[in-house]
Structure 1
């Protein structure tokens, strides 16, 4: 019986060794260092150095490419106990394509420069964390990046003017931060499907996000201090949703608003008659209230301004 047990233990050790070898040694080393930098949180208690890091049933939040056994996706979410700065060793996962860090309120500090080593990174989500400081200029070095979500953090400062270098950008979510200053004119070169800068402290002109040739579908600039002439805008032909409420936008509503599926221009300084057609009237009064002299259905008639 003792002999059988001995051989069984040997067999199990070989199986464990085989599973462990399924994970690239460089990736495992980096992951264990990340765990250490995060102060060995209970969230990552399944990260056992003696098991295969590509085994999705045992290593929480780690996904490997089946063809190469290299880590290509990391997911950390919904944990109030994890308390640490952002782990710089995340830059030592060269095949990483997707990062999702969500609802970790005690993850603090700034985004480390080591992230620029992730040349294959396609999507970066760091949302609802304690991350602070400026959006670093070196984010623009992530040439493969198509999706950026840095919403609901404590980021401050100005937008990096070199973000236009992200030629493959599809979506940019920066809402609910403490970002300030004007929108860099260089961002006119961005051509993403979604732009959300709402609930920040931006000021000045934001017309760089508009233009007939752009492929943008959603623009949310609400709750800022932006001031530009809406009547001069040329809407992207693909634009479906527009929210510029709670700003200092002035001028008239262009006829292009009749092509939208959703609109909110309330709490601005707009004037003139509201165009007729499409969803414009169906949106109701709330989408147009508290402007300087905007009039016409669904608001009262323009006669009182004549």
Structure 2
């Protein structure tokens, strides 16, 4: 026989269960409460954009748009802010609160034109960060030397922003860096000599579409990355240190600079080289016959230089067959197929 007090207890339990079922905040929420608090502050610092409408405080933040959590710890490990639309209604600086996500490994801001201001120093608190992408934004100011404190960083991409000033030499202190992409900004000054001290073989480098000047540091010859793009700058002098038959270089783009060196003395990676572009420079000498032994060359351009002599024939590279006249035009006295015959 059920007592009155027992019936009351049953009713109370049922009422509590029904409230839990109806409540938008379920007991099974995985998101760490502190991480969630930080993200809501982050959203507020960006003026609560519609872009982050899914960031509802009554929902599990591991299910929010742009957010990824670790499957075991449920701590936030990735914040990927990408947009395919020109108007995201997102505006403001990079929120300082992002530095309060201690387990973050991947941070991306991509195609967010309303994102402005400098790179925040609070990023130095993200000691686990492996991937930092700030791309196609209006973030401005210098590249801060403090990024060298992110010792676990593997990819640093600051491509297509309004960054200015010189490249900090301290970036070479990043021991795990595999890619450094600083292209399409307003950077000035020389390539740091310290870049030659990157841990071998060195990161893939893209410094193109800036206003860098001076000579290419001889120390860069000590590195052996698969890709180097220094195009569309104001670099001068000798670039021969970047070449070598034993290197593993696949892509080398030095086009549209003021470089001047004897091309006939260059030796090339015979198996790895896929793309070589040196157009619009002041390179002189002949096209070396060693280039005909490069087996997998798919893109090649030496136009608008000061080269002379006959284009080498034969070999596995097949320079005369594989590339048309536009790869050779506007040199001092180059001749032979696909250009007019030598006199």
TM-score, normalised by the number of residues in structure 1: 0.89
SS in 1 for 2:151: coil
Aligned residues: CA RMSD: 2.7
Per-residue deviation, 1:270: 0.4
Distance 1:283 1:42, change over 3 A: closer
Measure the CA separation in 1 of the matches of 2:188 and 2:94. 23
Distance 1:104 1:15, change over 3 A: closer
Distance 1:295 1:121, change over 3 A: farther
Aligned residue number for residue 272 of structure 1: 285
State yes or no: 1:301 paired with 2:332.
Answer: no
Deviations 1:188-232, CA, capped at 9 Å, x for gaps: 1124341000000001122457335x3400000000001131335
State yes or no: 1:175 paired with 2:183.
Answer: yes
| Structure 1: gaps spanning 5 or more residues | none
SS in 1 for 2:177: coil
Measure the CA separation in 2 of the matches of 1:275 and 1:282. 17
Task: Kindly report which structure 2 residues correspond to 1:152-171, keeping only aligned pairs within 5 A, or say none.
Answer: 152-171=160-179
Distance 1:144 1:281, change over 3 A: closer
Distance 1:88 1:18, change over 3 A: same
Q: Is the 8 A contact 2:308 2:335 kept in 1?
A: no
Greater Cα shift, 59-68 or 189-198: 189-198
Aligned residue number for residue 252 of structure 2: 242
Aligned residue number for residue 255 of structure 1: 267
Deviations 1:100-151, CA, capped at 9 Å, x for gaps: 1100011000111000000000000010001000000100010110101100
Measure the CA separation in 2 of the matches of 1:232 and 1:148. 24
Measure the CA separation in 2 of the matches of 1:185 and 1:289. 29
Aligned residue number for residue 66 of structure 1: 71
| Structure 2: gaps spanning 5 or more residues | 1-11, 312-319, 321-327, 329-333
Measure the CA separation in 2 of the matches of 1:295 and 1:36. 65
TM-score, normalised by the number of residues in structure 2: 0.80
Question: How many residue pairs align between the two structures?
Answer: 298
Measure the CA separation in 1 of the matches of 2:21 and 2:277. 63
Per-residue deviation, 1:296: 3.5
Structure having the higher Rg: 2
Per-residue deviation, 1:156: 0.3
Task: Kindly report which structure 2 residues correspond to 1:107-256, keeping only aligned pairs within 5 A, or say none.
Answer: 107-190=115-198, 191=200, 192-208=202-218, 210-211=220-221, 214-235=223-244, 237-253=247-263, 254-256=266-268
Deviations 1:66-104, CA, capped at 9 Å, x for gaps: 110100000111152211111110000000000111000
